């Protein structure tokens, strides 16, 4: 990847971020509160609550979360999503598949081909044309929180 491409991609990512999700080098909110404050992660927040993972993402971390938006969750048929939200074990598995231990910034993500998740499996990373994780597009990167970083994605990742 060329340096010019990386700089252009970073500039575009910052320009496209709404004010509530701009990278903040002095982030005071944890990952969960940062996502809730953004207003476009209501389904993710509800899923984290249903799985009992809120305290974890409010913990010390650091964590990297590939966070699906409400629009990403809306791509899942309602009956399937409702069933997932009621199955705590499967829901926990799906949600922890979106979390990578440590703080992995976009400048590091683009150098990777995979990353091991908290769930135990690895997500596949492709930075050849934009950045994709398991086929989901990273639409906003490097949203800092006090205990890690959020990269916003446009699809829900499902463990294999």
Tokens (6 digits) for 45: 């927040």
Q: Distance between CA atoms of 139 and 145, rounded to whole angstroms?
A: 17
Q: Distance between CA atoms of 107 and 111, rounded to whole angstroms?
A: 7
Question: What does the pLDDT read at residue 152?
Answer: 97
Residues lower than pLDDT 50 in the chain: 1-26
Question: What does the pLDDT read at residue 6?
Answer: 35
Q: How many C-beta atoms lie closer than 10 Å to residue 104's C-beta?
A: 21
Domain boundaries, the chain: 3-153
Question: What does the pLDDT read at residue 28?
Answer: 85
Question: Could you tell me which residues come within 8 angstroms of residue 52 by beta carbon, excluding any fewer than 6 positions away?
Answer: 88, 92
Of 122, 146, 126, 147, residue with least CA distance to 138: 126
Domain covering 3-153 assigned CATH 2.30.180.10 in the classification: yes
Question: What does the pLDDT read at residue 10?
Answer: 36
Segment 133-154, tens digit of pLDDT: 999 999 999 999 999 999 999 9
Starting at the earlier edge strand, list the strands of the sheet with 136-145: 99-101, 63-68, 148-153, 136-145, 132-133, 122-126, 114-116
Question: What does the pLDDT read at residue 80?
Answer: 94
Tokens (6 digits) for 160: 């294999």
Question: What does the pLDDT read at residue 20?
Answer: 40
Question: What does the pLDDT read at residue 5?
Answer: 32
């Amino acid at each position: 990847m060329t340096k010019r491409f990386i700089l252009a991609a970073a500039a575009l990512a910052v320009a496209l971020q709404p004010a509530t999700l701009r990278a903040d080098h002095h982030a005071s909110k944890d990952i969960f509160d940062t996502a809730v404050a953004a207003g476009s992660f209501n389904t993710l927040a509800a899923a984290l609550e249903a799985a009992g993972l809120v305290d974890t993402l409010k913990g010390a971390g650091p964590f990297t979360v590939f966070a699906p938006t409400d629009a990403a969750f809306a791509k899942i048929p309602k009956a399937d999503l409702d069933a997932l939200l009621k199955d705590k074990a499967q829901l926990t598995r799906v949600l922890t598949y979106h979390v990578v231990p440590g703080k992995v910034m976009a400048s590091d993500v683009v150098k990777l081909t995979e990353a091991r998740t908290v769930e135990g499996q690895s997500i596949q990373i492709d930075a050849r044309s934009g950045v994709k994780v398991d086929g989901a597009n990273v639409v906003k990167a490097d949203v800092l929180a006090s205990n890690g970083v959020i990269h916003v994605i446009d699809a829900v990742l499902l463990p294999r």
